[in-house]
Amino acid sequence: MNLDLEGKRAIVTGGSRGIGLAVARGLAAEGADVVIAARTAETLETAARAVAAESGRRVIAVPTDTGDDEQVRELVRRTVSELGGVDILVNAAATPWSAGAPADLAATGDDVVRREVEIKVLGYLRTARAVAPHLVAQGWGRIINISGLGARQANSIAQTIRNVGVSALTKNLADELGPHGVNVTVVHPGLTRTERLTERLGQESARTGRPVAELEQEAARNSLRRIIDAEELAHVVTFLASPRAVAITGDAIAAGGGVPGPVYY
């Protein structure tokens, strides 16, 4: 299927590695020009050069801390200036959730929640606020927010709050921007194979002597009983960013390989 993304202009935050980088690759492979944003300039530049070489598209690195509203506005200004506009925003910039982070009530201090909300909820709000006027003016656009299946599990107060917050933001934006031709969706990954996961499992393998494949199999508790790769998740996001996904907005797309047991409707 031709996704009709040729010549579209996208911003991907958190684009230097992991899911964000995979999404940038997916969009560029379909013919979009992409601005990738993250905090570390050197890593970002390396990623931009790699994606540009692979795809033949324009891929521009703009170091950005989405916790800073002025930097976010400058990111959008540069995108519009260098690409002539913007059509797609993919929000993937977030501090990675640690399995060892505080989860219970007594251990969840105010600062723990503030840290999680600052980047993953308020950061997404900042980028959407800066991009939306351009999408509304042209009567077409896509915003895809990367959240997480932690929104559907009460196993950590801060993690659940940040992911539910992204879902709430998504629905509000979808209802407001929909009449202007802008679709807004949230994608919930589960455990996803990224550089960070590969590094963690490699370290655990070295420590325990257990093969990485065995550790992956143990960790894969989804319906497919295998870990979803970042590239596979990026296929879902790339479709949602395309004109072909016009019928989907304001909703959550789970992309973690299925959650055994519960019925979601």
List the CATH number of the domain containing 139.
3.40.50.720
Range of the domain at 203: 195-226
Cβ-based neighbour number of residue 20 at 10 Å: 27
Give the pTM: 0.95
What is the tens place of the pLDDT at every residue in 12-64? 999 999 999 999 999 999 999 999 999 999 999 999 999 999 999 999 999 99
Instruction: Check whether residue 85 and residue 210 sit in a common domain.
Output: no
Continuous H helices in the chain: 18-29, 41-55, 69-83, 110-120, 122-138, 157-177, 195-208, 212-219, 230-240
Residues 136 and 219 in one domain: no
Whether residue 169 is found in the same domain as residue 110: yes
* pLDDT tens digits, one per residue of 170-216: 999 999 999 999 999 999 999 999 998 989 999 998 999 999 999 99
Neighbours of 265 (CB within 10 A): 2
Same domain, 214 and 146: no
Per-position DSSP letters for 80-101, written without gaps between them = HHHHS---EEEE---PPPPTTS
| Lowest mean pLDDT segment, chosen from 111-115, 188-192, 238-242, 254-258 | 111-115
Domain presence at residue 261: no
Q: Are residues 130 and 241 in the same domain?
A: yes
- Condensed to tens digits (0 to 9), the pLDDT of residues 111-130 reads 888 988 998 999 999 999 99
Q: Do residues 36 and 97 both lie within one domain?
A: yes
User: In this structure, are 151 and 107 located in the same domain?
Assistant: yes
Query: Is 3 among the domain residues?
Result: no
Q: Are residues 121 and 154 in the same domain?
A: yes
Q: Does residue 100 share a domain with residue 203?
A: no
- Number of structural domains found in the chain: 2
Same domain, 155 and 32: yes
